[in-house]
Amino acid sequence: MKLDSCVAFYYEQGLTSSPGAYQHLLDDFPTDIPQLCESIHKFMLIDLWVNMQLVTVQQEYLNDSRLRSIEEKLREVVKRDDSSLKNSRDSQKALLGNCRDLSLMLCSILRYHKIPARLRSGFASFFDPFHKKNFDHWVCEYWNRSEERWIMVDIWMSQIHLKKEMLPIQLFEGLLKLHYNPYDVKGEDFMTGGEAWVNCRENGHDPENYGTEEEHLNGMWFVRDNMIRDLLCLNKLEPLPWDCWGMMGKENSVIARRELEHMDKIAKLLNTKNFSVFNLQEQLEALQIKDCILKSLG
């Protein structure tokens, strides 16, 4: 069955997801999603373990998440240990990553094996058991041909499930109570940037409840920026989580009426079922930030 052109667009690599000279390293990865995630966990370590001081890494590894592209990341993996990626690395050789980094690696491998995949930037509600705060989060989604739907995968959380014994007892017990499938994330647990925008603009949500644990990183401007990052991801120009260009950034936290109307238009496109990526490309051009990320990629 021939795929719709808007789905087929995500077959091919983008500038950031391309493995470049290291594509041969992706040959032997499984395409079963849980198995693929476990394979990635052998050479990538989520930042949570370091942030909680449960694992210690070399000081220079703390900048791993600043490696923008998969080619850069794989170069660093091989530099630290040139054995097969099937071999598990200890914390002194593993690549450190946040939710964007692991999601991009998953996306790259799926695209390499001709499975349409893309990143989504948005907010997770499951971190707060009372669903009052929605935290900045990224996932990868892939096209399931047999079910004819996009399925979201939270590879960051899958590592926590895989290594849950490392968690402090209170978090371990909380995880056991959490009914969350990282290999098929539901809408009540994750919302895209566009969905968050509509919730704040039309459904009475308080934008101050969208952001990070840091009090100065939340609000409507943060929702706007995550929606723009999601727009970039859907155009296969996956930014870093802190990238800000044009109207983005806290310094532009006051959103003019004209900009609100423009963002409303983008949100409507993003939230349309089976949206056209080609219409999204027009919106990216209108925001005049495409050249910024292309310059960032060199």
Higher-confidence residue: 247 or 107?
107
Across-strand partners of 44?
95
Kindly report, residue by residue over 2-16, the tens digit of the pLDDT. 568 889 999 999 999
Does the structure show a pLDDT above 50 at 1?
no
Domain count, the chain: 1
Which pLDDT score is estimated for 27? Answer: 94
Does the structure show a pLDDT above 80 at 290?
no
Kindly report, residue by residue over 225-269, the tens digit of the pLDDT. 999 999 999 999 999 999 998 889 999 999 999 999 999 999 999
Mean of the per-residue pLDDT values of the chain: 91
Averaged pLDDT for residues 160-183: 80
Higher-confidence residue: 194 or 297?
194
293: left (phi over 0), alpha (psi -120 to 50) or beta: alpha
Amino acid at 229: R
- Ranges 34-48, 192-206, 266-280: which has the least confidence: 266-280
Q: Name, in order, each residue with C-beta under 8 angstroms of 231's C-beta and a sequence gap of 6 or more.
A: 193, 266, 270, 280, 283, 284, 287
Task: Grade residue 88 by pLDDT with cuts at 50, 70 and 90.
Answer: very high
CA distance 240 to 66: 8
Amino acid at 35: Q
Total-model pTM: 0.94
Kindly report, residue by residue over 124-137, the tens digit of the pLDDT. 988 776 667 899 99
CB contact burial 207-239 (16+ within 10 A = b; e otherwise):
bebbbeeeeeebbbbbbbbbbbbbbbbbbbbbb
Which pLDDT score is estimated for 224? Answer: 97
Amino acid at 176: L
Does the structure show a pLDDT above 90 at 286?
no
- Ranges 17-26, 55-64, 92-101, 278-287: which has the least confidence: 278-287
Averaged pLDDT for residues 74-84: 96
* ∠ Cα 21 22 23 (to 5°): 100
- Ranges 13-27, 156-170, 171-185: which has the least confidence: 171-185
Q: Which domain holds residue 112?
A: 5-296
Does the structure show a pLDDT above 90 at 76?
yes
Which pLDDT score is estimated for 3? Answer: 64
Which pLDDT score is estimated for 297? Answer: 65
